[in-house]
Amino acid sequence: MESMNITSAQYHNNPIDGQQDSIVATIDGTVVSVPLQEGNRHYDEIMRQVNAGELTIADAE
């Protein structure tokens, strides 16, 4: 919905079950943990930029 400056994005795995549970991203200079949920404005913007070819989400470590 709004232009955000996203400089990095990487999936994070839940250490309990090893499944992807969030994206750790740097948005407007702040490191944030973003849930994989539509309706969360950061997740929606990350996916918009991914679909537009403007951003790639790195695999979890």
Partner 1 sequence: MALSKVDPNFLNVSQVGGRRNILINGNMEVNQRSFSSNTGRTQFTYAGDRWIFAKNDVVNYDSSYNSFSVGQTDVPGAKAYHEFTLNSAGSGTDFVRLEQRIEDVTTAAGEQVTLSFWARSNTGSGFTLDADGITAGPVEIMQYFGTGGTPSSVVETDFATSITLNTTWTKYTYTATLPSVSGKTIGTDGNDHLRLIIGTMMDDDAGNGIQIAQVQLERGDTATPFEHRSYAEELSLCQRYFNNIVDYYGTNVTGLFMTAAYATDNTYTVYQYPVEMRAPPTFSYGGAYTDFKSRHGNNVTPSNITTHGYGSKRQIALGFTATATAGSAGWMESVSSDAYMYLDAEF
Residue among 8, 11, 24, 50 that touches partner 1 (CB under 8 A):
24
We find the least distance from the C-beta atom of residue 53 to partner 1, in angstroms, to be: 18
Q: How far apart are CA 15 and CA 38, in angstroms?
A: 23
Residue 16 as a binder of partner 1 (CB under 8 A): the answer is: yes
Nearest to 9 by CA among 54, 56, 49: 56
Residue among 11, 18, 21, 55 that touches partner 1 (CB under 8 A):
21
β-pair partners for 26: 8, 31
Q: Count residues near partner 1 (CB under 8 A).
A: 28
